[in-house]
Chain A
Amino acid sequence: EAGVTQFPSHSVIEKGQTVTLRCDPISGHDNLYWYRRVMGKEIKFLLHFVKESKQDESGMPNNRFLAERTGGTYSTLKVQPAELEDSGVYFCASSQWLRGALNEQFFGPGTRLTVL
């Protein structure tokens, strides 16, 4: 079974440009999450989709960030315009909700974003 995949693995852009990150969750997983680790600090939650709906977007830092999950499959996270402080590693995770199951999330390899 394929795990969570993310694309690209690394992106280098200039301040003011736009970048779109993609995440493909494990097939059949309804829950999809975005997290990021900025400048070696803690990993912070950005948002959570259940299928195509945004369940929790409390971690989105500002309106320069737009996440979508059309059709409830893969998700994109767009940063427009990018700022220097957006540099970091963006992780995607997915999980399947099963009654009585633990909330075990499976993480992708991350996208390292560098804004110059």
Chain B
Amino acid sequence: SQQGEEDPQALSIQEGENATMNCSYKTSINNLQWYRQNSGRGLVHLILIRSNEREKHSGRLRVTLDTSKKSSSLLITASRAADTASYFCATPTRYNQGGKLIFGQGTELSVKP
């Protein structure tokens, strides 16, 4: 079964609005990562948050992690049309031995100009 589940599956907003995506996972984690895939393009790493961190910022991105609830959220502030993409959370299966990443189902974000 998938480690991560994300909601909403699809989100449509206007440019300038904030977008919030949520991710839940099932097992203990060392870190959680967020990725973006633009239509037809590659996978871009956005941000990594460690299990001992509760919040992390990077530009217009804000990620929170609640290990007690096994959930994370990604907030994109002041969204732009270029933010239109699929967003995935991912967790590693093993911490220091190169284990695979398990991805959530993703949120399709559409930002209308």
- Please list the residues of chain A having a beta carbon within 8 angstroms of any beta carbon in chain B: 30-31, 33, 35, 37, 40-45, 48, 50, 55-56, 59, 89, 91, 93, 95, 97-110, 112
A42 engages B103 (CB within 8 Å): yes
Q: Name B94's closest neighbour in chain A (CB-CB).
A: A103
Q: Mark B9-40, 1 if CB is under 8 A from A, else 0.
A: 00000000000000000000011010101001
Q: Name B108's closest neighbour in chain A (CB-CB).
A: A40
Q: Name B91's closest neighbour in chain A (CB-CB).
A: A103
- Please list the residues of chain B having a beta carbon within 8 angstroms of any beta carbon in chain A: 2, 30-31, 33, 35, 37, 40-45, 48, 50, 86, 88, 90, 92, 94-106, 108
A45 engages B102 (CB within 8 Å): yes
Q: Name A107's closest neighbour in chain B (CB-CB).
A: B43
- A42 touches which one: B95, B100, B105 (CB < 8 A)? B105
B97 CB to nearest chain A CB (Å):
6
Listed A/B pairs (29) with beta-carbon separation below 8 Å:
A33-B100, A35-B101, A35-B103, A37-B37, A40-B86, A40-B108, A41-B105, A42-B2, A42-B88, A43-B37, A43-B106, A45-B101, A48-B99, A48-B100, A56-B100, A59-B100, A89-B37, A97-B98, A100-B96, A102-B30, A102-B31, A102-B50, A103-B31, A103-B97, A104-B45, A105-B101, A107-B43, A107-B44, A107-B45
